[in-house]
Amino acid sequence: MESNRLLEVENVEVSLNNKKIIRPLHFTLAQGEICAFVGHNGAGKTVVMKTIMGIQEKDQGEIKLNSLNIDTDYLHYKSQYSYIPEEPLLFTELTVLQHFQLYGTSYNVPEHAFKERVDYYVNGFELNGKLHEFPEGLSKGMRQKVNIISNLLTDAPLLMVDEPFIGLDDNSACFLEKEIKRKSQQGTTILITSHVIERVKKFCDSYIMLKNGEIASQGRIENLRQIERRFST
Ligand SMILES: Nc1ncnc2c1ncn2[C@@H]1O[C@H](COP(=O)(O)OP(=O)(O)OP(=O)(O)O)[C@@H](O)[C@H]1O
């Protein structure tokens, strides 16, 4: 067994409305690995991510994150991941800075690191001057940036990212790509869904292709090119 396994998904099945959505699913991700999670619309990528987060119940199977079992150690388990959803999920009554503070506090980011990271990300994502705005005063892209920064601020060992590039301007998409690579070099494992295959191919190490709730193919990212003909977005 690899010693640096960060995420282990074993024999997981999920049903929604009495319909089997995810069939027995097995995969592992190593510490620091960047994995592209690809597949057609409705393949089950988001359902799998929600199951890994523990907000979608599974029918069976085992999930371990950093050696913590989702079923027996959930309180500790859930501090081990952060998640950037496709649609911004913000609180109407909190300012941009208060969102960052909420994540910083929840994930125990030390105060000096928190300040440094907020400055760094606000500059990188060009959100200067927006710290005291409420979500309703922001554009959709800006709201997405608040979501992204809130999750990048943490030191969670697993970062899951659902379609992050749609709606981001070019500068911010490049900055995010750079940050994903930097975090992985620091040891963060990243699972990223995207239909922009050309973009993720440039910086992912591996891929998992889901088809109708099953793994159709997985391996090194270089091999994705060879099987792309079988894959339509
Ligand atoms: N709350 C729900 N109730 C019933 N079925 C659902 C629910 N959420 C998702 N599904 C179904 O589960 C399947 C997988 O959906 P999921 O959102 O995981 O797909 P996806 O791969 O993330 O797609 P996309 O690329 O479009 O984001 C789809 O058939 C969808 O209709």
Task: Note down pLDDT in tens along the chain; length 233 residues.
Answer: 455 899 999 999 999 999 999 999 999 999 999 999 999 999 999 999 999 999 999 999 999 999 999 999 999 999 999 999 988 889 999 999 999 999 999 999 999 999 999 999 999 999 999 999 999 999 999 999 999 999 999 999 999 999 988 889 999 999 999 999 999 999 999 999 988 888 888 999 999 999 999 999 999 998 886 666 555 44
Contacts of residue 152, defined as CB under 8 A and 6 or more positions apart, other chains included, come to: 117, 121, 159, 179, 183
Residue 47, ligand 1, Cβ within 6 A = yes
Beta strands 68-69 and 19-30: pairing type? unpaired
Ligand 1 centroid to Cα of residue 47, in Å, is 6
Of 110, 101, 90, residue with least CA distance to 155: 110
Q: What is the reported pLDDT for 130?
A: 97
Residue 213, ligand 1, Cβ within 6 A = no
Residue 55, ligand 1, Cβ within 6 A = no
Ligand 1 atom 25, closest CA: 41
What is the DSSP-derived secondary structure letter of residue 165? S
Residue 21, ligand 1, Cβ within 6 A = yes
Ligand 1 centroid to Cα of residue 160, in Å, is 17
Residue 42, ligand 1, Cβ within 6 A = yes
Torsion sign (Cα): 100, 93, 53, 21: negative
Q: Are 65 and 81 in contact (CB under 8 A)?
A: yes
- The neighbour count for residue 198, using CB atoms within 10 Å, is 7
Beta strands 158-162 and 206-211: pairing type? unpaired
d(CA 118, CA 221): 32
ipTM over 0.85: yes
Distances 89 to 4, 80, 144, 150, 175 between C-alpha atoms, Å: 32, 20, 8, 11, 21
Of 94, 139, 131, residue with least CA distance to 115: 131
Residue 43, ligand 1, Cβ within 6 A = yes
The whole-model pTM stands at: 0.92
Of 132, 143, 151, residue with least CA distance to 89: 143
Q: What is the reported pLDDT for 228?
A: 63
Cα 62 from chain centroid (whole Å): 20
d(CA 206, CA 36): 6
Q: What is the reported pLDDT for 71?
A: 97
Ligand 1 centroid to Cα of residue 42, in Å, is 5
Residues making up the chain, counted from first to last: 233
Based on the number of CB atoms within 10 Å of its own CB, is 214 exposed (0-12), middle (13-18) or buried (19 or more)? middle
Q: What is the reported pLDDT for 40?
A: 92
Q: What is the reported pLDDT for 233?
A: 47
